[in-house]
Amino acid sequence: MANACTRSLKVCAMKITKIAQDGSPVVGAHNAYITNDLVTLTIGSEYEADDDFVVRGASGDICLNYFAFGPLKRLTFDMDLCSADPELHSLLTGQDTLVSSAAVGFHWPDVGVGQGCSGGTYYGVGVEAWTLNVASDGSVDGTFPYLRWLFPKTFWRIGEKNMENAPMSHKFAGFGLENSQWLDGPSNDWPVASDRVGQWLPVATAPTPACGYQAVAFS
């Protein structure tokens, strides 16, 4: 395939998939969610400090001058969702929903409980997003109309919420790590390596968003 000089536009769908302790997708009826309620997803990179070594000789001249970028530690995320869907928020953060008869709500985590020794069984989620693959004239690619973005191991916590004379914003903050066990994903359809903190690939199709949990068939 020739390089198509791709450009990314909009977000057509986002998929959240629960992962197990070893990083593999968890098979089951309530372990995925496909949504188009994403407002923004900001992806950052966090690096270890750079190596910067300078040695000056007795003459005052520099006899060694070395610089190298520090290694990548993790990705960082800021997510803003339009929807207050408790099932989506539960899957994303590992917190249980609140259920009262037919009503389903959501809650913050326990105060003082981290993700260390008493962190429960939240092992993170894989996050995928499908954006439009467009040319410089704005036309959508005829063969691969989407760019599929994959972050195979991410962890999330609840961010700010605004209560005002405006739509409520549902913010989450997270970070991403490598995952050697995502492999070809929960649908057996990721065709290349998936062991980096993030990767993307032009693809022909995107999933259909729906309100409510989705099943995971493969691990």
**Residue pLDDT, tens place only, 146-188:** 999 999 999 999 999 999 999 999 999 999 999 999 999 999 9
DSSP string, 16-59: EEEB-TTSPBPPEEEEEEEES-EEEEEEEEEEPPPEEEEEE-TT
Beta bridge partner(s), residue 65: 54
2 in any annotated domain: no
pLDDT at 29: 95
pLDDT in tens, 83-126: 999 999 999 999 999 999 999 999 998 888 776 666 578 999 99
130 in any annotated domain: yes
Angle at 12 between CA 179 and CA 178, to 5 degrees: 10
Domain that holds residue 53: 7-216
Tell me how far apart the alpha carbons of residues 47 and 209 are, in angstroms, rounded to a whole number. 34
Token duo for residue 202? 């032009």
pLDDT in tens, 64-83: 999 999 999 999 999 999 99
pLDDT at 121: 81
This prediction's pTM: 0.93
Number of domains composing the chain: 1
pLDDT in tens, 34-67: 999 999 999 999 999 999 999 999 999 999 999 9
Amino acid at 168: M
Calculate the alpha carbon distances from 143 to 100, 137, 147, 206 in Å. 47, 16, 11, 13
Contacts of 197 (CB under 8 A, 6+ apart): 72, 74, 75, 151, 153, 176, 177, 178
| DSSP conformational letter for 96 | P
125 in any annotated domain: yes
1 in any annotated domain: no
64 in any annotated domain: yes
198 in any annotated domain: yes
45 in any annotated domain: yes
Contacts of 9 (CB under 8 A, 6+ apart): 131, 132, 134
Token duo for residue 170? 């549902």
